């Protein structure tokens, strides 16, 4: 076995992809928040009802016995200025999306996704996140350490060593030997916990 600078491992590549997913999700959230803020301003500027938020109904009673809202009772919006005609003009306030919207079938998530700005700015993030997560899933198998795998010892007393796995026992220990002698039973090796091993990317 040899000790040298850390080689690139499949764990490294997977971590980078997971960081990329996190960055994409963060950017996606910022863009969606901006879109909803703009949509909320549009609703307010159009004179949208601040009582029912364009629904035409309000929750008049609910019980804490069920957090799903399935026992909720509804009534008509109490605002004098809120009419069917005014609601048709303003549409729904999409910045409000509660469990009651789902129960009443207002379809807020679909309405948000159908916004032109959402389709142009957010859906590309969704596609890229899905694609990158697919890469992560495909990389999981490459991170598995097995007999014959070239590995880097990332932790423990043997940290920094590079070699191939000659044997793995039932206790989760791997016998790591020189990469060019890993099949030689007479070659010395070191027992290392498989938890401390990372599969090296081989060219």
Question: What pTM, to 2 d.p., does this model score?
Answer: 0.82
Whether 48 and 93 have beta carbons less than 8 Å apart is answered as: yes
- pLDDT tens digits for range 23-50: 999 999 999 999 999 999 999 999 999 9
User: Considering only CA atoms, which of 30, 72, 32 is closest in space to residue 55?
Assistant: 72
How many beta carbons lie within 10 A of that of residue 14, not counting itself?
Answer: 19
The mean per-residue pLDDT over the stretch 2-6 comes to: 66
Residue 3 pLDDT greater than 80, yes or no: no
The mean pLDDT value for 60-64 works out to 95
The C-alpha atoms of residue 95 and residue 37 are separated, in whole angstroms, by 7
For residue 118, pLDDT beyond 80 = yes
pLDDT of 179 > 60? The answer is yes
Q: Is the pLDDT of residue 4 over 70?
A: no
Structural domains present in the chain: 14-139 (no CATH), 144-199 (2.30.30.30)
Residues 150-163: pLDDT tens digits? 999 999 889 999 99
- Residue 1 pLDDT > 80, yes or no? no
3-state secondary structure of 85: helix
The pLDDT value recorded for residue 5 is 75
Beta bridge mates, 74: 59
User: What band does 145 get if pLDDT is binned at 50, 70 and 90?
Assistant: very high
């Amino acid at each position: 076995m040899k000790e040298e600078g850390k080689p690139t491992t499949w764990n490294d590549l997977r971590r980078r992809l997971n960081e990329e997913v996190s960055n994409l999700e963060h950017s996606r959230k910022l863009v969606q928040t901006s879109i909803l803020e703009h949509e909320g301003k549009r609703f307010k500027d159009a004179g949208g009802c601040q009582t029912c938020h364009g629904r035409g109904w309000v929750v008049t009673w609910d019980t804490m016995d069920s957090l799903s809202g399935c026992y909720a009772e509804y009534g008509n919006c109490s605002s004098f200025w809120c009419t069917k005609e005014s609601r048709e003009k303003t549409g729904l306030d999409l910045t409000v999306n509660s469990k009651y919207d789902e129960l009443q079938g207002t379809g807020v998530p679909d309405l948000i996704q159908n916004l032109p700005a959402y389709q142009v700015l957010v859906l590309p993030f969704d596609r890229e996140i899905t694609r990158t997560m697919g890469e992560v899933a495909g990389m999981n198998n490459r991170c598995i350490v097995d007999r014959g795998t070239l590995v880097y010892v990332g932790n423990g007393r043997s940290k920094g060593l590079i070699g191939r796995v000659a044997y793995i026992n039932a206790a989760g220990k791997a016998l790591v030997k020189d990469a060019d002698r890993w099949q030689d039973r007479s070659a010395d090796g070191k027992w290392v916990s498989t938890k401390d091993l990372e599969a090296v990317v081989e060219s």
